[in-house]
Amino acid sequence: MSTFLPKEVQAGLDAARKKALKKKTRLRIHNDDEIFPVLRIWEDGLALDAKNAPHLRGLVDIYDGARHLSQCLIVASDEENGEMVYEFKRNTAVADKAALDFAREEHAPVALISVLP
């Protein structure tokens, strides 16, 4: 059996795969006032649609819908199969609380209760 596909059929399959990825993901990159949908994301990088994504470089924010996931320092590395691939230079998760500047005791009291005279 041959695995050769005509160029038109391969282009149609690639377009259908890209369309399905766009619908499936809620991940977005926010770069200043611009928003780009993320096609794929992995530990060391992410991929955007090549026709809509510029060669981004610098600090961006990644959102899942309205939830802020991380702040990343990225650089455009390659364009392959209609996807612009970016590498993370830094990927920092966003915390919902401020970081503690002291070690919390395991059995420390939660509150101070005083008895009034």
Q: How does strand 57-64 pair with strand 34-42? A: unpaired
User: What is the fold of 26-93?
Assistant: Thrombin, subunit H (2.40.10)
Task: Report the C-alpha gap between 114 and 117 in whole angstroms.
Answer: 10
Which residue ranges make up each domain of the chain? 26-93
Select from 76, 71, 32, 81 the least CA-distant residue to 53.
76
Mind listing the pLDDT tens digit for each residue in 63-76?
Answer: 988 888 999 999 98
Task: Report the C-alpha gap between 25 and 7 in whole angstroms.
Answer: 27
Quick one: pLDDT band at residue 60, thresholds 50, 70, 90? Answer: very high
Mind listing the pLDDT tens digit for each residue in 82-114?
Answer: 889 999 999 998 887 777 787 888 888 778 778
46 touches 38 (CB < 8 A): yes
pTM for the structure as a whole: 0.65
Long-range contacts of 12-15 (CB under 8 A, 24+ apart): 14/81, 14/82
